[in-house]
Structure 1
Amino acid sequence: MVVEGTVGTGGEPESSDSMRAFGAVVQALREHAGLTREELAERIGYSKHMVASVELGRRMPDTPFVDGTEEATGNTGAVRAAAAHLARQPGLAAWFRQWARMEREAIALYTYECRLVPGLLQTEAYARAVSLSVPPIPDEDDLNQRVAARLARQELMSTRRKPPSEFSFIIEQAVLERHTGGEDVTREQLDHLLRVIDRHWNVQLQIMPLRQPDHPGLDGPLQLLESPENRWFGYSEGQENGRLISAPKELSILQQRYGKLRTQALTPEDSRSLLERMRGAL
């Protein structure tokens, strides 16, 4: 099974040549403008680590990063021209790439998960544990690409994005009770979820309790996003496949299900309390 769009036997990672080429362009223009990585990061509202990762070809830049860097380096058009060739994302399954591109532009993203902690909320250790749990076991390079791709997507939740996107997550309590990767990994993952709640005012996290006799999510995980043009799309993923959903009737059904999930899950406040109790029990 492939989870959260990572690559398994059904989708090989693509070359990162275009990412390295884009990073080289950014570095050359930054240095020509007389900026350090820290100075560029401050001007465009990202971390120094993000700038370094993009320049080294390790992270896929989002649109605000490209636009900010273009402006900060003199509006020559070179950054946007180089970004036009960034079609490849190593570590992501072929069927997930279109959704990943849409995520970068979305103004709202809703996620219900009953299998694992959503990729946007995973720690590095949890991401590695997930990848190593599902056969076939990846080699070290493949594993590193999967984890890097997943962590890179988390820049989407930054409140520094203009405008910041809205995120809603509903996670089954059973996912956290599973202790994927062991107690140390689980402890770190719970701490991370609590930090996300504290630091990201644009993120709402709800836990679906273990006992819920009337459950609208029995058909499996689902994702919904709203585009900048206020159009809605859905995505569902199973073993070795994923499907983009744009038909209005299907989207209406998914929105009804997500709406009911929201009413049946614990409130954000009660979800936080449950996470704290689970953390304290470890």
Structure 2
Amino acid sequence: MGRERHLDPNTGPRAFFGSELRRCRKRIGLSQPQLGERTTCSPDMIGKIERGERPPSPEFVQKCDEIFGLDGHFHRLYQFMLQTPGPAWFTRWLEEIEPQATVLRTWDPLLIPGLLQTEDYARCVFRGAPGITPEEVEERLQIRMRRKALLEREPPPMMWILIDEYVLQRPVADPETMTGQVRYLVEVAQRPHVTVQLVAASCVTGMMSAFMIAQLSDGRPDVVNVESSAEGRITADHEVVAQIWSRYDTIRASAYPEHLSRQMIEEAIPVWERRAGLI
């Protein structure tokens, strides 16, 4: 964790940001743990930012400008980094696509979609990754929870959520956590800009993978995010987007109506409550 290897700042905007962070940190004599205390960011995460392995959060960027007494230096580097395609597919989606979406359509055959996950549920999902450390779990959790600010944005994007009906029964976490997750799903489904529909388990069209479709403003083309076990693919390629739209429409044809889906979700709450010993 304490190793600091040389990083060529010319390899890309993220590497340049990391090298500048390291330079400024050392200039005022701060260690990574000390900077972590001032930014509420783990030393391990700071190391990854300095090595160009992870993108910084907007909050971290703002805090760095304050700590180092710089007039928006890191903010400008951050904006440049966002405008330049990076190697990490999830960074592009998180920082460039999702915040600009006016409509988001999602399909998930295995889990509650990330934007609708509670903190406890998401933590259990991340813990399932082979070889993951507790620190990495918490880092991923922080990123996922920050994404949820999208639900409170004004105006919020319209969201059309399709979930396999068996997801409500899958014991991803302990019964108490599952109870909280299903309750939260009911709460979010009641928001006027969110539509949640369960899809009949007999629908085989969507078994291949989860995906998201983002509709952007100003006439820009739709962008899709198709997930796999190793990584995701983000593209606005017309042919790929058309294929995903076709798959989405086919899956939605097997979805239960919104009112029936909400009733099915509500009926799942006492099932998990009984397993948790709450009733």
TM-score (norm 2): 0.68
- Structure 1 unpaired stretches of 5+: 1-6, 28-77
Contact between 2:171 and 2:178, CA under 8 Å: does it hold in 1? yes
Deviation at 1:184, TM superposition (A): 0.9
* Matched-pair contact (CA < 8 Å) for 1:108–1:167: yes
Matches for 1:62-77 after TM superposition, within 5 Å: none
What's the secondary structure of 1:281's corresponding residue?
A: helix
RMSD: 2.9
Q: Deviations over 1:35-91 (max 9, x none)?
A: xxxxxxxxxxxxxxxxxxxxxxxxxxxxxxxxxxxxxxxxxxx77982661548xxx
Matches within 5 A, 1:150-189: 150-158=144-152, 160-161=153-154, 163-189=155-181
Take 2:109 and 2:256, find their aligned partners in 1: how far apart are those partners? 15
In 2, distance between residues paired with 1:280 and 1:22? Answer: 44
Q: Does residue 273 of the first structure (1) align with residue 268 of the second (2)? A: no
Q: CA deviation at 1:117?
A: 1.1
Length, aligned pairs only: 214
**Distance (whole Å) between structure 2 residues aligned to residue 254 and residue 152 of structure 1:** 27
CA contact (8 A) 2:64 2:74 kept: no
Give the Å deviation of 1:253.
1.7
Distance verdict in 2 for CA 1:154–1:17, change over 3 Å: closer
- 8 Å contact from structure 2 (residues 65, 73) kept in 1: no
Which deviations, in whole Å up to 9, do the C-alpha atoms of 1:200-240 show, x marking residues without a partner? 21111111123x2x532133212111111232111111122
Q: How far apart, in 2, do the equivalents of 1:225 and 1:242 lie?
A: 15
Q: Residues 223-242 of structure 1 correspond to what in structure 2 (within 5 A)?
A: 223-230=212-219, 231-242=221-232
What SS class does the counterpart of residue 107 from structure 1 fall into?
Answer: strand
In the other structure, the counterpart of 2:204 is 215
Distance 2:239 2:75 in 1: 38
Q: What is aligned with 2:192?
A: 201
Other structure's SS at 1:148 match: helix
Corresponding residue number in structure 2 for 1:250? 240
Cα offset, 1:173, TM superposition: 1.6
Match of 1:139 in 2: 133
Equivalent residue for 1:82, pick from 61, 75, 87: 75
Residues 1:24 and 1:225: Cα distance change in structure 2 (over 3 Å): same
Distance between the aligned counterparts of 1:173 and 1:203, measured in 2?
17
Which structure has more relative contact order (CA 8 Å, sep 6+)? It is 1
| Alpha carbons 1:179, 1:185 under 8 Å: kept | no
Deviation per residue, 1:117-155 (Å, 9 max, x gap): 11100000001100112212x223211111010010011
Report the AA paired with residue 85 of structure 1.
Answer: Y
Distance 1:79 1:170, change over 3 A: farther
Provide the C-alpha distance between the structure 2 equivalents of 1:218 and 1:176, rounded to a whole number of angstroms. 16
TM-score (norm 1): 0.68
| Cα pair distance change 1:151/1:13, threshold 3 Å | farther
Please tell me the residue identity of whatever aligns with 2:215.
Answer: E
| Cα distance in 2 for residues equivalent to 1:26 and 1:169 | 39
How many angstroms apart in 2 are the aligned matches of 1:167 and 1:80? 35
Structure showing greater Rg: 2
Q: Does residue 261 in structure 1 map to residue 256 in structure 2?
A: no
1-structure distance, mates of 2:215, 2:251: 18
